[in-house]
A and B are shown apart, each in its own frame.
Chain A
């Protein structure tokens, strides 16, 4: 945890915190219950915990940590599918490091590797493609995960594989998209949210327009935010300002990186290679319509789901896990019965404990919320 004095512009941070307090007090609903603002993106969750931002906010504001950590929402059954493919002798299974430790019902990819499966950590899907070129007698499978930030990278890799005529490369596509997820959260009866911090780097790809339904239909404010502490504070201030003035708009605090229209070469590659699935299963959240992507038929030769038989069995999360309630912000991580006891970053039961972007790991690592009177 850091202190305000160490921020890039400590004076600005202090005055923002002061402004946030004044604003929060002037909003009538805050007298009855805290104003709930969800940060959708795991990068924000990480930053909020690392810099102790929650403890700097007045009690009138509650930050709800959203589902925006791609490894955290991967259901057990998909991890089992990975393990089953990775165990085939002809396969070199490649993955980002974050996904190695996500528990499936029969262990993680890391355990599969220890048991002899050829599982390799790569930095980029391009590295997986290079491995395929180098090992023409093996089948290289890349475990494609992530929101829109990483989707263009795997789409462009498939396009490159096609152009190069590579036949021993495929993707196990588990990409997910943010918009249907936000909609599912807004439709969830358990949750009362007053506003959102929008994801920064997803929006760099898709732009800010796809969120317009949040303001027009659901009448909630959203501010697309950068992930530096000052960005987050300023974005919270902007959300509050909208609430106070009775506005619900999509604002862009992170315009230095996020263009309104997104990144057109990236979007073109994505829609060339992928289409929406009818539904996709999320850990803790259940099935969400149109929230997943799959490889289009035109690129079927690069689709690992077609190339290999996958068990594709739906596995319920362990009973003791309350990841779903944490993901939806219904309970705080430390309210989960196994938090810190049966479930720790070393032996995660739920995926929220695996990645530093997961709320449980972040709470665990940075010791939860410490109230810090910034203005004093």
Chain B
């Protein structure tokens, strides 16, 4: 829950509500991107960005070069599997 998981923004769903689709290890899920947008980074410009997703909210941008290592550590900690499974289940509802 606290470690989050890296995902890539693939599509903007709602500019006003700041909702976007993020892909995490092949699972797509809608997340809120309000915390990573600003005047320099408007909603529309976020497609392709790598972000750290915590409980459905993108909380930080993350360097693409970091992503693989972060995933490896999360997998070793058992966190990645749990997060991905929770995301997958929430998508099925």
Contacts and interface: CB of A to CB of B under 8 A. Distances in A.
A244 interface: no
Contact of B90 (A41, A127, A256): A127
Contacts, number: 109
Given A2-B76, A153-B54, A146 B32 contact: no
A257 B76 CA distance: 20
Contact of B86 (A97, A263, A266): A97
Interface string B37-54: 110000000000000101
Interface in B47-84: 52, 54-57, 59-60, 62-63, 66, 69-70, 73, 76-78, 82-83
Given A123-B86, A160-B17, A205-B59, A150 B34 contact: no
Interface string B11-37: 000000100000000000111101111
Contacts of B17: 160, 163
A147 B2 contact: yes
B10 interface: no
Contact of B59 (A146, A163, A204, A229): A204
Contacts of B30: 126
A263 B2 contact: no
A43 B86 CA distance: 18
B55 A124 contact: yes
B25 to A, nearest CB: 14
Contacts of A126: 30, 32, 56-57
Interface residues of A, number: 45
Given A50-B76, A152-B59, A160-B17, A123 B38 contact: no
A205 B82 CA distance: 23
A198 B86 CA distance: 28
Interface string A42-54: 1100110010000
Contact of B82 (A97, A152, A153, A229): A97
B6 to A, nearest CB: 11
A162 interface: no
B90 A123 contact: yes
Interface residues of B, number: 37
B3 A153 contact: no
A96 interface: yes
Task: Identify whether the interface residues of A are mostly helix, strand, loop, or mixed.
Answer: helix
B61 to A, nearest CB: 9
A8 B90 contact: no
Given A127-B93, A146-B1, A265 B63 contact: no
A47 B2 CA distance: 13
B36 to A, nearest CB: 8
Contacts of B93: 127, 130-131
B83 to A, nearest CB: 8
B56 A263 contact: no
Contacts of A150: 1-2, 54-55
A91 interface: no
A355 B90 CA distance: 21
Contacts of B3: 43, 201, 227
A300 interface: no
Contact of A46 (B77, B83, B86, B87): B77
B4 interface: yes
B89 to A, nearest CB: 7
A93 B63 CA distance: 37
Contact of B2 (A50, A266, A357): A357
Contacts of B60: 204, 257, 263
Given A201-B54, A257-B52, A266-B59, A156 B34 contact: yes
A263 B35 contact: yes
15 contacts: A43-B2, A70-B2, A123-B86, A123-B89, A126-B30, A126-B57, A127-B56, A149-B2, A152-B59, A156-B57, A201-B3, A227-B73, A257-B62, A266-B35, A266-B59
Given A122-B90, A149-B4, A356-B77, 10 more contacts: A124-B31, A124-B56, A124-B57, A126-B57, A152-B59, A153-B57, A202-B2, A256-B63, A257-B62, A357-B2
